[in-house]
Structure 1
C-alpha cells in the first residue's frame, strides 16, 4: 500500500507540473466565476433604471435583492451537492445553463412578480456553480499551487462584478436596462459548448463511480504523461476507501474543528453581508 500511495491518485496530482490541463481548468472556472459575479450583481446596476421605467420607489427592490441571494443559498445547498452523484462537470453545465437562461429571461420581465421568479431561479444556478468550480479547481491543482489557483480563480467573481458595473453604464445608455440581462444571459449560454468539450470531469468522481479505464486514462495522461493509469486508479480508490464516512459537513465539527469552523463561517458571513449591502446600496 505504501507503494500505491506514492504512485496513487493524489500523489500524481500533487507532484504534477502546472500544465495545459491545470491551466485550462483554472481559466474556464475563472470565466464562470466572472460571469457569476456579473449576473449576481447585475440587478443592482439596473435597479434605478427599472424603478424609473416602472414608477417604483427604490425601496421596492429590497425583496428583489434578497430573493436573488436566497436563490444562491438554495442552489448551494440543494443543486450543488448533486455533483457527488452526477459529477462536477454535469452540475457546472446545468447551473451555467440555468443562470444564463433565466438571466436572459429577466430582460423580458414586465412585472415585479416575474422579476422575483427569474432572479430567484437565476440565483439557484449561480449558487450551484460556485462551490463546484472551486472544488474542480482545487482537485486538479497540485498541492503546492492549490491555494493560489483557487484564489486566482475566485478573483473572477469580484472582477465580473466590477466589469459589470463599468459595462452596464454603457449598455444602459446605449440600449436600455434590458441589454444588461441579455449580455448576462447570452455569454453563459455561449460558454456552454466550450465547457462541454474542454472542461474535464472530476477524475476523483470518475474513479469513485467506477468509470471504465479508457475514460480516465486521457485525463491521467494530461496530468502526468508518465503516470501508470492502473496505479493512479488503485491509489485513488484506496484513498477514498480510507476517507471518513458520513455526511461531509459533520466532519467540520469533529476532532476539535468546531471553533475554527464557526469562526470561518462568521467571517465569510460578515464579509458577504457587507459586500452585498454595499453594492446594492450603491
Structure 2
C-alpha cells in the first residue's frame, strides 16, 4: 500500500492547512457574488400591505417602475400581491443602488469591475510574491480585502460600492494564485492530494449560497461572510510560516530551517 495515501499520517498541521485553504476559497468565491448582487425579481411590489402597495413588472433589472406605471398589476387581486412578495427571495445591491436604471452605469457591471480587479491583482500579486514572499503578500491581500468586503456592504453610494468590489477583485487575484501556491508549497508533497480531496471551490460556493439564502439580504450576507473569513488573518499571522520553498529559492537558509 502506498503510504502517501495513508490517512493515519495526517497531522494537525495538515488539517489546519486544508481548513485554511477552504476558508480562503470562501473569500475567493466572492468572484461569484455578483450573481446575487445583480439579482432582481421579475415583479416587485412597493408597500407592505395589499391596499397601499404598487406592484409592477421589473424591466431590465431596474429597481423602479419603467413601463406601465399608471396602475398596479395587482389591482383587485390580493393573491397577486402575496405571490409577488413570496417570490421576492433576496434583497440585492441592484435593488438598493438602482444602477441598472442609470444609462451610464448599465454597461459598467459590478462583475466586470471585479474581474478587472482580479486580472490586475493576479499579475501584481505574482510579481510581488516572488520578491517579498507568499505569506507576506497573501496576508497583505487579506488585510486589504476583508475590510473592503465589509465596507462594500455598508456604503450607500454606488461609486464607493464599485470601488470596494474592485479592491475585492484585486485581493481575490492574490488569494487564488498566491494562496494556492502558498498552501501547495506548505503542505507535504505526499499529502497535496488532501487539498483537492477535502477542500473545493464548489463547497465554498455552496456555503456562500446558503448564507445568502438564509439571510435573504445582501448586506447581512456580506457581514456574515466577512465574519466567516476573519480567522484567516490571525492563523496566517500567528501560526502558519512562510513557504520553505520560497525561502530556499531566495537563499534564506535560516528562514528555510525555521519554516
Q: Which of the five TM-score ranges fits, normalised by the shorter chain? A: 0.5 to 0.7
Task: Give the deviation of 1:23 after TM superposition.
Answer: 3.3
Counterpart of 1:122 in structure 2 is: 168
- In structure 1, the gaps of 5 or more residues are 1-16, 220-282
TM-score where L is the length of structure 1: 0.61
User: Where do 1:165-204 residues align within 5 Å?
Assistant: 165-172=209-216, 176-204=217-245
The counterpart of 1:68, out of the listed 114, 133, 138, is 114
**1:170 Cα shift?**
1.9
Deviation at 1:149, TM superposition (A): 3.1
**Structure 2 residue matching 1:60: 3-state secondary structure:** coil
Equivalences for 1:1-282 in 2 at 5 Å?
Answer: 18-37=10-29, 39-48=30-39, 49-57=92-100, 60=106, 63-146=109-192, 148-152=193-197, 155=200, 157-172=201-216, 176-213=217-254, 215-219=255-259
What are the ranges of 5 or more consecutive residues in structure 2 without an aligned counterpart? 1-8, 40-91
CA distance in 2 between partners of 1:68 and 1:98 (Å): 15
Q: Structure 1 residues 90 and 57, CA, compared in 2 at 3 Å: closer, same or farther?
A: same
Which protein is bigger by CA-based radius of gyration? 2
Cα deviation, residue 218, structure 1: 4.2
Contact 2:23 2:229 in 1 (8 A): no
Structure whose residues are more often helix by fraction? 1
Q: Secondary structure at the match of 1:183?
A: helix
RMSD: 2.6
Partner SS for 2:109: helix
| Number of residue pairs matched by the alignment | 197
Distance 1:204 1:23 in 2: 20
Structure number with the bigger relative contact order (C-alpha 8 A, sep ≥ 6) is: 1
Contact preservation (8 Å) 1:33, 1:153: no
